[in-house]
Structure 1
Amino acid sequence: MNGRLLPWTGSEEKPCYLIGDGDGYVSRIADQVEGVQLGMAGSLLDHTAELLSGEGLTKEELHYLVRRLIESLREIKRIAESRGARLAGAADQPIVET
């Protein structure tokens, strides 16, 4: 069994890990949360492109936009690290032929 980095943080922004086989309830919730986070990141990118293509973006709007982009990038980085670790762990598993 390997630990899975979950797509959310605990208190004080510390990472949360799940120990298990990856088939349980929390794993399914984590998969759903990752899906939502990836979808929101795509929407944020589209919205950012729209805002930057126009004129009249205030300093406050730009600051807000950059904060949301940072949050989204942090979430996506966590997802990438989690998936990369799971892929590396899967590579260490023996292949069982049936």
Structure 2
Amino acid sequence: MHPEYAKSYPARNSSGARHAAVIPSDSTDLPVRPRALYVGTGGDLALRDAAGVVAIRRNVAAGTEIAFEAVRVMATGTTASDILAIW
């Protein structure tokens, strides 16, 4: 890959170049689809995927980075906090 493109387009397995705080919501999608979610304070994480399916990841430890392109972090079922979207 040409070095200029390597700077502009991170690889799919990279951790990302930007981040933003996530406010869980049952009605609002994330403004961007993240590469991963970072959990600052542990707990359960209810994630909605592109197909509209919600699954709860139980007992996510503080400091965990989950590689998942969530469409929405649901308020119902999420007990974790200090969540960051990374893209």
Could you state the TM-score of these two structures normalised by the residue count of structure 1? 0.23
Greater percentage in strand: 2
Greater percentage in helix: 1
Answer with 1 or 2: which has the greater Rg.
1
